[in-house]
Structure 1
Amino acid sequence: MTDPNSVRLWWLALAAGLIPLLTIHLTFMVSVLEGHVSFCIPYWDSCTSISKTGRHGTSYFIFKGAMLPAALLGLLFWWFNGRWLRQLGVRSAAIVWVPWLGLIASAALAAYTVALGHEGDGFNLMRRTGVVLYLSLTFLCELLISAALREHPVWRGEGKWLLALCQLTLAIGILSVILNGVAPGFYSRTDDAFEWVFALLINVHALMLARLWRKSRFRVRFWVG
């Protein structure tokens, strides 16, 4: 029987994956329309970084106005992923590590968002550190969850698909590191595209988790009836 005092939270997971993805594409298009960046397909033209789309004009306010709430949603998303795994009966270190790593990743996204568009050594360090921590720790959270689901007797198939997506993300990250070492000139012309692809993949993973939250009928009780 469903607890009448509990609520389904798949919509939160959906928002956590969808808002960052929609925001970077919206700020890109607004920046194009306002003449701050040239129109292109950033996933392979590598014409602009994600950061550049949110630095000027209207996009500056759209980026900050959407990404700061997205950071808060991310914090809740990773925290509830620990609850979700526990409800599924998963026995893994992911239950402990994911909420705390997600907390740091979300704080890093907030710091990056605040620093974006401001000049100075402190803001530059804050921006660079924020984006590296956000992307790397978000990927680690997704990897831990995927590996935990792969060992689950019911969710093993979904875990394999999620883990395959993580492996693709990791392969792209390793390729970018190799290119930076052996062909720095080529890498400097393509690094923005790597950033776009990496951001796409980690948010697609979050959207796939939203689907699993809905499929598993994940519910949380916030009050006592």
Structure 2
Amino acid sequence: MSFGQQIALLCFLLSMGTIAVTYGVAIDQGTAEICNPFFDGCTDITHTGMKGDGGFIFRGGMIAACAFFVVWWQIMAVWLRQYTGALARGAMQLFGIVAAVGLLVGTAVLLPEKDAVRWGVHVRGANLFFQGMLLALTINYVLIWKARRRGLLVPSFGFKTLLMLCLWGLFIAFAGVTVGVEMSNGKRIIEWWATLFIGFYFISSWPDWRSVRLMAESGG
């Protein structure tokens, strides 16, 4: 397993895995109800990971995931270096890193007691994550599309295309729904699916980075 594959796997496990474990613990401790939030929107991700042991798992796991998101964007930039312009790669990295920082800050302020949470910071951080990540992934997809035309092998391109269609479909269909303190069931459903699609996009780089060279070649 290459370093790039390890990072792609860790990004997925630390984000999606943390959410899954947190929800399971919350159900076991009675701080969340048993349901399928992807279809009925019974709860949002934030409130699933606030109280009890699940809160500690959620904060620790998601903050760690944010660190690996930053590394993932660095690897992506190196992978595309020979096929794309520096300005476009820089914009991609900037939006991706800003999104990760937004999620980190938004997660760090969560506390077990709802009244003690700095909701303004959390909401801005969460929205920065979703909006920044959508921009970063869109730039990334366009750069990968151009790189393929120049000979870069991208086994996951079809899957990435499907994920981008799903993400933009959610964004357009619901007119850029934003995360808030109290959300309707419909908005919660969008949050769950958007988070899952973003997680899948990270792990989709697994087959692409099987033999990726991350060291820049020295100039001759």
TM-score for both structures, normalised by structure 2: 0.84
Q: In structure 1, what residue type is equivalent to 2:44?
A: S
Report the equivalent of 2:173. 175
Counterpart mapping for 1:103-142 below 5 A: 103-117=97-111, 119=114, 123-142=118-137
How many angstroms does 1:124 deviate by? 0.6
Letter in 1 for 2:189: A
Is the partner of 1:90 in helix, strand or coil?
Answer: coil
What amino acid maps onto 2:7 in structure 1? L
Q: 2:8: which partner in 1? A: 13
Q: Are positions 1:22 and 2:17 aligned together?
A: yes
Distance 1:156 1:211 in 2: 8
> Is the contact between residue 10 and residue 218 of structure 1 (CA under 8 Å) also seen in structure 2?
no
Which amino acid in the other structure matches residue 78 of structure 1? W
TM-score w.r.t. the length of structure 1 is 0.83
Q: Which residue of structure 2 lines up, in the alignment, with residue 183 of structure 1?
A: none
Partner of 1:4: none
Structure 2 gap ranges (5+): none
Match of 2:94 among 81, 92, 100: 100
Segments of 5+ residues of structure 1 without an aligned counterpart are 1-6, 181-186
1:108-154 deviation per Cα after TM superposition (whole angstroms, max 9, x unaligned): 11101111226569811110011111111112211111111112223
The structure carrying a bigger helix percent of its residues is 1
Give the AA of the match of 1:48.
Answer: T
Equivalent in the alignment of 2:80: 85
Q: Which moved more, 1:43-52 or 1:141-150?
A: 141-150
Give identity over the alignment, percent: 23
Deviation at 1:157, TM superposition (A): 7.1
2:30 is matched with 35
Which of 193, 211, 218 is the matching residue for 2:207? Answer: 211
Distance in 2 of aligned mates of 1:173 and 1:90: 27
- Name which of 160, 163, 166 aligns with 2:164: 166
Q: Distance in 2 between matches of 1:44 and 1:22?
A: 19
C-alpha contact (below 8 Å) 2:16/2:196 kept by paired residues: yes
Q: 1:105 to 1:179 in 2, by over 3 A?
A: closer
Counterpart of 2:143 in structure 1 is 148
Q: Matched residue of 2:184: which SS? A: helix
- CA deviation map 1:66-118 (0-9, x unaligned): 1111111111111221111114x234743121221122111111101111226
Say if 1:143 and 1:163, in contact at 8 Å, map to a contact too.
no
CA distance in 2, matches of 1:179, 1:62: 27
Asked whether the 8 Å contact 1:78–1:99 carries over to 2, the reply is: yes
